[in-house]
Amino acid sequence: MVTFLKTTFIFIYSLLLPASTFALANSQDPATVEDVNRFATFILRAVLGLVAIASLIMLVMGGFTYLTASDDKAKTQSAQKTITYSLGGLIMSLSAWVVLQLAGTFLGIDLSVFDICLPPGCP
């Protein structure tokens, strides 16, 4: 289990590393507030997506454990808890996205984009 999680983390990190390296290699100008905005937006979306992916992975693992538990009560209870918590995490991550979208629709702004507004450029 721990080996699987380490391998998954390394795989996801290796997917993100080339993009960040490319961004640093081509950057000739110092960072601006707009760069911070884009980075924070990327982090917000990535974390929300990773939570959903982790919940789905744990749901599959809990289902597999439940199917292979046979008559072992402890394994069955552990698998049921894993499935319950993974469904809870999935519901929470999806509801967070829905709440952001609904609040943005009612307020007329996009809340999924992080924005720092400095006084000269503020509306």
pTM score, whole prediction: 0.59
State yes or no: pLDDT of 102 exceeds 80.
yes
State yes or no: pLDDT of 70 exceeds 90.
no
Of the ranges 54-63, 65-74, 96-105, which one carries the lowest mean pLDDT score? 96-105
DSSP sequence for 37-79: HHHHHHHHHHHHHHHHHHHHHHHHHHHHHHHH-TT-HHHHHHH
pLDDT tens sequence across 39-69: 877 887 788 888 888 888 999 999 999 999 8
State yes or no: pLDDT of 107 exceeds 80.
yes
Task: Please report, for the chain, the start and end positions of each structural domain, with discontinuous segments joined by +.
Answer: 55-113
Q: From 48, 27, 31, select the one nearest 39 (Cα to Cα).
A: 31
Give the C-alpha separation, 53 to 72, whole Å: 28
